[in-house]
A and B are shown apart, each in its own frame.
Chain A
Amino acid sequence: MSKLCTLSEAIAQYVHDGDTVYCAGFTHLIPFAAGHEIIRQKRRNLILARATPDLIYDQMVAAGCAKKLIFSYIGNPGVGSLRIVRNELEAGRLEWEEYSHFGMISRLQAGAAGLPFIPMNQTAATDLEKNNPNIRRVKDPYTGVEVITVPPLHPDVAIIHVQRADKNGNAHIWGIIGEQKEVAFAAKHVIITAEEIVDESVIRSAPNRTLIPELIVSAVCHVPHCAHPSYTQGYYDRDNAFYLNWDKISEDPAKVQAWLDEWVYGVKDAAEYWQKLGPETHQRLQVHPRPAAAVDYGEY
């Protein structure tokens, strides 16, 4: 069954005020265009979950979409501080719930696997545990040793950008695959955004590459360049100049609002945003091809 729709339609249907939203992608494939559409549709009181909030949540927090953050590392990756999120946390204006990367990813794994909780070995560092009642201990029934546990995370909606998908939602991803599969299976609804919508035969030619199957997908949107200023492996590079520039913009609330006015509210969708970036940026982010050797599945 085709689930093709516009990103605007998908956000309108599946992202509601107060929802827990997980925009997936560890540095790679971050669905910025979806974050911008959520800002344009003025969602409020969202619980934003991401291991690394990155610029996408800095922008959504700046636009007033969030009441709470669930995370494991807040920084502008490779640049420094994630200024807006940090300011809001320091000012006590944003609720938060914090884990280590492993704790955060384990919550997703538990959610994806349908488990009531998941154990992790002790780390001897207990301060986070003291401050987050979701991090608990249970005795291993086999050895009697205490292990650390976290509960499953079930986002209301996961938004996942991929290189290519068919119209039913079978999605191929390559490059860094951080937490996409776990988030997709943990979530109640999955929105796929794709650089390319391909025929089902392309997906079926390489089934090992299908990280996300259609049976858990609610919507499929064709959104080329959705991940800018992050990147899509093999399609375009990270716009590091923008990450550096955001460090300056985010120092000043007036500049942030002006940026949102120009680049989010001032454009109608991802295609217009990409055009507005202009040919110099397009060229700067181009990637030379480096294809993998073909594999032969055989005719049976």
Chain B
Amino acid sequence: MENLSYTASELMCINAARLLRDGDVVFVGVGLPNLACNLARRTHAPNLQMIYEAGVIGARPARLPLSIGDPTLVSGASSVCSMYDIFTLYLQRGNVDVGFLGGAQIDRYANINATVIGDYAHPKVRLPGSGGSQEMAAWANRCYIMTPHQKRRFPEKVDFCTSAGFLSGRAEREAAGVRGGGPLMVVTNLGCMEPDETGELILTALHPGCTVEQVKENTGWPIKIATNLKTTEPVLESELNLLRNELDPEGIYLKG
């Protein structure tokens, strides 16, 4: 088989798309999650329902959305509602299957920091904050995280817990009584991490050509390796063609 070349973003996007099931209701963010959802809808999940925190349900974007509230999300959508409705009727009520999350830091127990580096009251680096992330991480049935594999992004413990993964372990999340299952997988440019029975992220798959050593070097805690470590399915030319020629032809999100 010939070797395809692709960017880290393309690799993550294609692997994230494969996590979606036909008929899933997905709470979509702009950028890579949006591309992953549209790729899934154009391949194995034609009945994917895309909903956006701005209050758009069943979006069918005709062009690449450039913000979370792009007008192309509305034209041709099945419904539009207020943000209060989206967060209550849809998310809090339990009508969302999948949420995509991201952040500056993801820790050993998949907790997410999108708020601050350093002390909250005296921020060293002030990040955007929660937006819809705090509730999505709690209440979506399944959450997925997509982020490049770098040591500074994967510290032992987040500086600030914007959105709950498994806190200090699964028992603590369960004690809080939140309805969602929490992060099920972290997709990086090196492979995939999944929570074990305690909620700790362990390496469960490598992308073709990537190594355990690379993952260890780029993770901020001594990461455990699954005994049945897998290799992800190779990227298909058809997936790359859809991304490059139709979904993000200018390479706005896929260049890096």
A residues at B contact (CB < 8 Å): 26-28, 51-52, 71-75, 77-78, 81-82, 86, 89-90, 92, 98-103, 105-106, 108-109, 120-128, 131, 145, 174-182, 231, 233, 237-238, 240, 243, 287, 290
| Residue contact A73 to B83, C-beta cutoff 8 Å | no
- For chain B, the bracket of interface size reads 35 or more
Q: Is the CB of A178 within 8 A of B139?
A: no
In the bound assembly, the distance between CA atoms of A78 and B115 in angstroms comes to 17
B208: interface (CB < 8 Å): no
B121 within 8 Å of A (CB atoms) = yes
Known: A73-B129, A101-B53, A127-B115. A51 touches B83 (CB 8 A): yes
**B4 CB–A CB distance under 8 Å:** no
- Distance in angstroms between the alpha carbons of A131 and B137 in the assembled complex: 20
Distance in angstroms from A91 CB to nearest chain B CB is: 10
Q: Give the residue of A28, A101, A127, A181 whose beta carbon is less than 8 angstroms from that of B87.
A: A101
Residue ranges of B at the interface with A (Cβ–Cβ < 8 Å): 30, 53-56, 66-71, 73-75, 80-84, 87, 91-92, 111, 115, 120-126, 128-135, 137-139, 160-164, 167, 172-173, 176-179
Mostly helix, strand, loop or mixed at chain A's interface?
A: loop
Q: What are the residues of chain A within 8 A of B55 when measuring CB–CB? A: 26, 176-178
| Chain B residue with Cβ nearest A131 | B120
Write the nearest CB–CB distance from A77 to chain B, whole angstroms.
4
The distance in angstroms between the C-alpha atoms of A216 and B200, with both chains bound, is 52
Consensus secondary structure, chain B interface: loop
In the complex, are the beta carbons of A108 and B84 less than 8 A apart?
Answer: yes
Who on chain A is nearest to B176 by CB? A124
Complex Cα distance, B116 from A86, in Å, reads 11
Asked whether, in the complex, the Cβ of B54 is within 8 Å of the Cβ of A27, the reply is yes
Contact between chains at B122 and A92 (CB < 8 Å) = yes
Chain A residue at minimal CB-CB distance from B67: A78
Chain B's closest residue to A78 (CB) is: B67
Are B131 and A176 touching (Cβ within 8 A)?
no
Query: Given contacts A123-B138, A179-B82, is CB(A101)–CB(B130) below 8 Å?
Result: yes
Residues of B within 8 A of A177 (CB): 55, 80-82
- The one of A122, A126, A128, A182 in contact with B130, judged by C-beta atoms closer than 8 angstroms, is A128
**11 sample A-B contacts, Cβ–Cβ < 8 Å, listed by A number:** A26-B54, A73-B128, A98-B129, A124-B173, A125-B134, A131-B120, A175-B74, A176-B73, A177-B80, A243-B67, A290-B75
A74 to B127 alpha-carbon distance, docked (Å): 8
Whether A102 and B134, one on each chain, are in contact in the complex, defined by CB atoms closer than 8 angstroms, is yes
Report how far A109 CA is from B83 CA in the complex, Å.
Answer: 10
Contact assessment for B66 and A240 in the assembled complex, using a CB-CB cutoff below 8 Å: yes
